């Protein structure tokens, strides 16, 4: 890594350095957002491919994963956690409800809000999905040791705090 | 962080541990692919919003960014680097060529392959885009120090090597 450009990147070092390095100076392979997008795209493509064997979409998998961890969730929260557009989310929930994997129940005190929860059948479906998810995860971090993983996740948390909205 | 679950996660520790922890045991907030997807989605949404001021799409920005760094690139390489579907890429290149920001030139020795390169007008357009890109980047890593950033990028490289295809 080129120390000098890296120094520029984070606005450190002497006062004679320019205020904003160019992308060429930073280098595309040191530009983390580029690497994150490359990884996310590849990981999601691999995942969609692997999930085909179970006839499950990535969004369905994400919904079942999140719901398997919580008693119930609102549709808004689900959309954020699963990084899915509201319209796609509605269709996915229709689909999952029809298959008996989730249920939506209107709140007694506010009928406009519907809480989504997983059914026993949904839990069983996720138990079949999880080994695929875990295998993709293991492949992603092949050769990464525990300490490195922990440090990596801490930085991810920092980044997510920096950019998330509405505190969820 | 729960050490025991973390140990399970990476298949370390005593032989009595189960071979595959559940997602609940790992914890969604320690599950890096989830965090990466959350970050990528938020970052890309913020970027699209910020680019509206210049009437530029995210894909156009990415194409100009990549081309600003290289003499010329094939359409296939561009699609990988910019994580864009081939069909979207074709439309984007049509658009950019019409605006005079890029050019496509068929190779003399193989007319089926067209090399894409940026024009001087395209470079000037990217110079206007870069401050926005850089500001988003700075926001993403607000509070992350040089050492932490370096370590983070190294892990990203490791992950990308684990999952990329065709060595690009």
Interface mutation vs chain A, best among B19, B29, B37, B67, most A CBs within 10 Å: B37
Residue with the bigger pLDDT between B60 and B12: it is: B60
Interface mutation vs chain A, best among B9, B83, B129, B151, most A CBs within 10 Å: B83
Mean pLDDT score, A157-165 = 91
pLDDT greater than 60 at residue B141: yes
- Whole-number percent of chain B with pLDDT over 70: 87
pLDDT band at B7 (very low <50, low <70, confident <90, very high): very low
Q: CB atoms < 10 A from the CB of B124, how many?
A: 11
Interface mutation vs chain B, best among A61, A82, A140, most B CBs within 10 Å: A140
- Domains of chain B from N-terminus onward: 1-33 (no CATH), 48-142+155-168 (1.10.10.10)
C-alpha to C-alpha distances, B14 to A79, B2, B10, B18, nearest whole angstrom:
39, 16, 12, 10
Measure CA of the first residue to CA of the last residue in chain A; give whole Å: 35
Contact state of A164 with B42 under an 8 Å Cβ cutoff = yes
Helix B146-163 / helix A146-163 crossing angle, nearest 10 deg: 110
pLDDT band at A71 (very low <50, low <70, confident <90, very high): confident
Q: Largest Cα–Cα distance in chain A? A: 65
Q: Could you give phi then psi for residue A106, rounded to 5 degrees?
A: -70, 140
- Residue B105, chain A, CB below 8 Å: the answer is no
Q: Which DSSP symbol is given to B103?
A: E
Give the span between the Cα atoms of B77 and B167, in whole angstroms: 11
How many angstroms separate the CA of residue B69 from the nearest CA in chain A?
A: 6
Q: List, for residues A90-127, the tens digit of each pLDDT value.
A: 999 999 999 999 999 998 898 888 899 999 999 999 99
Mean pLDDT score, A131-143 = 95
Contact state of A69 with B148 under an 8 Å Cβ cutoff = no
Chain B neighbors of A149, CB-CB under 8 A? 6, 9-10, 32
- Residue A130, chain B, CB below 8 Å: the answer is yes
Contact state of B159 with A39 under an 8 Å Cβ cutoff = yes
- Residue A128, chain B, CB below 8 Å: the answer is no
Give the span between the Cα atoms of A119 and A99, in whole angstroms: 10
pLDDT band at B71 (very low <50, low <70, confident <90, very high): confident
Give the span between the Cα atoms of B64 and B133, in whole angstroms: 12
What pLDDT score does B72 carry? 86
What pLDDT score does B2 carry? 36
Contact state of B35 with A153 under an 8 Å Cβ cutoff = yes
Q: Which DSSP symbol is given to A53?
A: G
Q: Which of A48, A124, A147 has its CA nearest to residue B85?
A: A48
Q: List, for residues A20-32, the tens digit of each pLDDT value.
A: 999 999 999 999 9
Q: List, for residues B73-125, the tens digit of each pLDDT value.
A: 999 899 999 999 988 999 999 999 999 999 999 988 988 888 999 999 999 99
pLDDT greater than 90 at residue B161: yes
Query: Could you give the 3-state DSSP secondary structure of residue A118?
Result: strand
- Residue A22, chain B, CB below 8 Å: the answer is yes
Rg of chain A taking only CA atoms, in angstroms: 21
Q: List, for residues B29-53, the tens digit of each pLDDT value.
A: 999 999 999 999 999 999 999 999 9
Nearest CA in chain B to A10: B146
Residue with the bigger pLDDT between A5 and B163: it is: B163
Alpha helices in chain B (DSSP H): 3-9, 23-26, 32-51, 58-69, 75-81, 86-98, 120-140, 146-163
Contact state of A23 with B69 under an 8 Å Cβ cutoff = yes
Contact state of B23 with A68 under an 8 Å Cβ cutoff = yes
pLDDT greater than 90 at residue A160: yes
Task: Evaluate whether B140 touches B43 at the Cβ level (below 8 Å).
Answer: yes
Chain A neighbors of B139, CB-CB under 8 A? 162-163
Residue with the bigger pLDDT between A34 and B1: it is: A34
pLDDT greater than 70 at residue A88: yes
How many angstroms separate the CA of residue A16 from the nearest CA in chain B?
A: 19
Mean pLDDT score, A145-152 = 95
- Reported ipTM: the value is 0.87
């Amino acid at each position: 890594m080129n120390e000098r450009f890296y120094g520029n990147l984070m606005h450190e070092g002497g006062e004679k350095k320019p205020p904003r390095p160019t992308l060429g100076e930073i280098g595309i392979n040191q530009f983390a957002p580029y690497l994150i997008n490359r990884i996310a795209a590849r990981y999601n493509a691999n995942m969609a491919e692997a999930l085909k064997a179970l006839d499950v979409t990535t969004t369905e998998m994400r919904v079942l994963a999140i719901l398997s961890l919580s008693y119930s969730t609102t549709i808004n929260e689900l959309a954020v956690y699963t990084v899915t557009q509201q319209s796609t989310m509605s269709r996915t929930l229709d689909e999952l409800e029809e298959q008996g994997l989730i249920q939506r129940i209107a709140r007694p005190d506010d009928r406009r809000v519907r809480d989504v929860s997983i059914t026993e059948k949904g839990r069983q479906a996720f138990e079949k999905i999880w080994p695929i998810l875990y295998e993709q995860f293991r492949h992603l971090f092949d050769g990464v040791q525990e300490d490195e993983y922990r440090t990596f996740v801490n930085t991810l948390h920092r980044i997510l705090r920096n950019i998330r909205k509405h505190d969820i």
